[in-house]
Structure 1
Amino acid sequence: MDLLVVGIIVLILYAAVRLISAIGSGLSGARYRAYRALASRYRGRYEHRGLVDPPTVSFGHHGSSVRVGLAPVVAGQPSVPRTRVVARFGTGLPFRLELFPVQRPSPKQTPRGTRLVRLGDPVFDRQYVVRANDPEIARELIDTQAARSAIEGLRKLAPPAGMLVSVSPERLLVQIDRNLGQSVASLDAAVREALALHDLLRLSVAARMAEGISIVDEPASDPLEAGPATCKVCNEAIGPDEDRVLCASCRTPHHRDCWSFVGACSIYGCQGKRCVPS
């Protein structure tokens, strides 16, 4: 009799566990439907660990590795949900940029080698702060109708001051301070606009670096007039006492730490992976 009671209790507990698991899976599937739809659309990888941690979606796009998800919550900081689209470039880009609404607080440390860029459009300049290490690339990129459309599309998805576009030599980061995973359309729109900026960025930098290659290969008529070499990663002069290296393939100079940061030559089309002391 005792064994029968124990058996019944075990069966009831097992059924309860299965029921809770099924309910949890159903709720999770409904809650994260936007991420599943995104993974299906881009033939990406959907990753979800547990019922509490938000999922992520990873996929490849034009040579870059893209990851979409909520930013981790940092202890001691406001726990505002932040949806991030991060595209890590297959080949480093010697370009840095930050773009955000004027209402957003400026970062404590500005990206290395960047300066304030004005586009000459009074409306845009009143709405956004733009910093870049190469103002010409920044203007060429943002002045296009496609880029303006993508930026405006991202702004509409975000609360006031809740948008950030950041470019470093290794990645593009688009952040919206809102949980876009609650809407299939919103998450899809954010990724679509981020990828549009990614493609425009690579085209702009490629065109600029293609022009830069001919300039680098052309020797200066007078070494004194040429001035100090400029690192193509941070766009800053390489001082005589600074540690620098040369690309073993095209002999372009870099700061040693800039080379280590990118992991390869910064000149578009070179693809050099080895450096030598200068």
Structure 2
Amino acid sequence: MTGQGKVWLITGASSGFGRAIAEAAVAAGDTVIGTARRTEALAGLVAAYPDRVEAISLDITDGEQVEAVAVDILARYGRVDVLVNSAGRTQIGAFEETTDRELRDLFELHVFGPARLTRALLPQMRERGSGSIVNISSYGGQLSFAGFSAYSATKAALEQLSEGLADEVAPFGIKVLIVEPGAFRTNLFGKGAAHLSDEHPAYAETVGATRKLVRDSDGTQPGDPEKAAAAIRLALDAEDTPLRLALGGDAVDLLVGHLDSVRAELATWEAVSRGTGFDA
């Protein structure tokens, strides 16, 4: 590879946000290492930019493979300037419908995999005194509703790991950006990409409505992945990069409503909350 510019390592680069971010990085003259379970989807991008794009097969849930890929990339490239943890999928199901296996698999994909890869790359960023880590979350990382309990749980875990990490690595010149998209026109709701738990009739109205929303909205989501990629680059290039970046008007509206609700509930119960200490 003879490319110039920053070196980006992007998981889930074959589609969705990962693909849009990869294309934006290449357009800016940077070098991209894109990982995916099946790299065939990246063949066109590699063929168009053979000196600046490399596709690597990676199952982010395979810890040994994650470690080996990180070691190989650092040996050949010397550094990773921007890590983007984008690999993921949708999980729809009521809490009661979701099995232990489904929950564990989702945490492996959304939490443990990104954590392993981040830990593997942190030493070189810390020693170099620069670097950026972008974790693709969701507005569901701060709130949830029927059918998304498992999905939101993994994104909330990823966000809290990221928030603590940001505080730890800021002195070393490393940025951490949590991205919270709303509904974007990716394949996240597409056939084969969205995993649905076995249905229980008791949740036909609540979770059933969520399942219908996912099926009906595929391909009509308002968010543009290319504009999302541009917004992420803008945030990373800013002198004061935000910890969280909401993307899409729907995400902003839902997050504002959620924060207002939390504040109102705190105010309603403030006297009770404050009254739990020992008497003077």
Superposition TM-score tier, normalisation by shorter sequence: under 0.3
TM-score by length of 2: 0.26
Larger strand share, 1 or 2? 1
The structure that has the greater radius of gyration is 1
TM-score by length of 1: 0.26
Larger helix share, 1 or 2? 2
